[in-house]
Structure 1
Amino acid sequence: MFFLFGLTSRERMLFARNATCHFCGQYVPQRVLQRRTKLTVFFIPLVTLNRKRLMVCSNCGATSKISAGQQRAMAG
């Protein structure tokens, strides 16, 4: 008997908001993404192992991690 298991990562764009990029210094739209990594068995996602919130600059493409509190502050 064998088990087919692995990890899958999915990204979802939550929202975009104008802000100053920490890397290039430009005031441009910043996309806020959520990346989830899940354990799968027979291609069925079972458990979320990792959840990251990322801010991506539309000008330079730089990516930085943000906390849940920072995400709520940017959304509201």
Structure 2
Amino acid sequence: MLLIFGTTLRDRVLVVVRFLCQYCNTDASQDVIESATKVSLFFIPLFTVSRRYFVICSHCGGTTALTKEQATNGIEWATRHRQMT
């Protein structure tokens, strides 16, 4: 019997925020990304084995790692900011 299993990496944009990039010093939109590694069987994702979060500058591509709490705070900040405008 042949079982096909492996892992897949899936990136998902959680929110887009705008602030000053620490790399290029430009006020640009920043994508907050969740990257999840999932174990799959017959190409069907079964469960997540790891998650990591990071932000990518749309101007220069500079990438900064985030904690889960920082990513969550970014989502909450963007939600509050949108409600105010």
- Per the alignment, residue 53 of structure 1 pairs with 53
Cα distance in 2 between the residues matched to 1:42 and 1:71: 31
Q: What SS is found at the alignment partner of 2:9?
A: strand
Give structure 2 stretches of 5+ with no counterpart. Answer: 78-85
Q: How far is the alpha carbon of 1:49 from its aligned partner?
A: 1.1
Aligned twin of 1:70: 70
Q: How far, CA to CA, are the matches of 2:49 and 2:57 in structure 1?
A: 26
Name the residue aligned to 1:15: 15
Structure with the higher fraction of residues in strand conformation: 1
After TM superposition, the score normalised by the length of structure 1 is 0.88
**Aligned partner of residue 74 in structure 1, secondary structure:** helix
Q: What residue in structure 2 maps to residue 26 of structure 1?
A: 26
Q: Matches of 1:48 and 1:69 in 2, distance apart?
A: 18
1:30: Cα distance to partner? 0.5
Q: CA deviation at 1:73?
A: 2.3
Number of equivalenced pairs:
76
| SS of equivalent to 1:73 | helix
Q: Which runs of 5+ in 1 are unaligned?
A: none
Q: TM-score normalized by structure 2? A: 0.80
CA RMSD, Structure 1 to Structure 2 (Å): 1.2
